[in-house]
């Protein structure tokens, strides 16, 4: 029973991480031909946020894979 619970938790974390990564794949609105400085800053901040979200998704997937691995020990 313990291995089934660990496998289920691990699978849940893997799916959550995949969903978080999928959120980072959405395209932002195309900037206008002559973007203002505020729009340029927003694009830079959005790119930094996406990097952090991808790193977080990788950590969550990694934790899920560890739990799935423990389920088979």
**pLDDT tens-digit series, residues 6-57:** 999 999 999 999 999 999 888 777 777 888 999 889 888 998 999 999 999 9
CA distance 64 to 44: 30
The predicted structure's pLDDT at residue 18? 96
pTM of the model as a whole: 0.82
The predicted structure's pLDDT at residue 22? 94
What number of CA atoms fall less than 13 Å from residue 59's CA on the CB side?
6
CA distance 51 to 45: 10
Q: Is the pLDDT of residue 1 over 70?
A: no
CA distance 38 to 6: 47
All structural domains of the chain with their residue ranges = 2-71
The predicted structure's pLDDT at residue 35? 87
Q: Where are the alpha helices (DSSP H) in 1-36?
A: 2-24
Question: 71 with 59: CB under 8 angstroms?
Answer: no
């Amino acid at each position: 029973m313990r291995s089934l619970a660990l496998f289920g938790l691990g699978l849940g974390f893997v799916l959550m991480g995949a969903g978080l990564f999928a959120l980072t794949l959405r395209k932002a609105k195309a900037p206008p031909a002559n973007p203002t400085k505020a729009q340029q800053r927003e694009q830079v901040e959005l790119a930094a946020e996406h990097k952090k979200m991808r790193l977080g998704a990788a950590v969550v997937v990694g934790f899920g894979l560890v739990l799935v691995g423990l389920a088979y020990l």
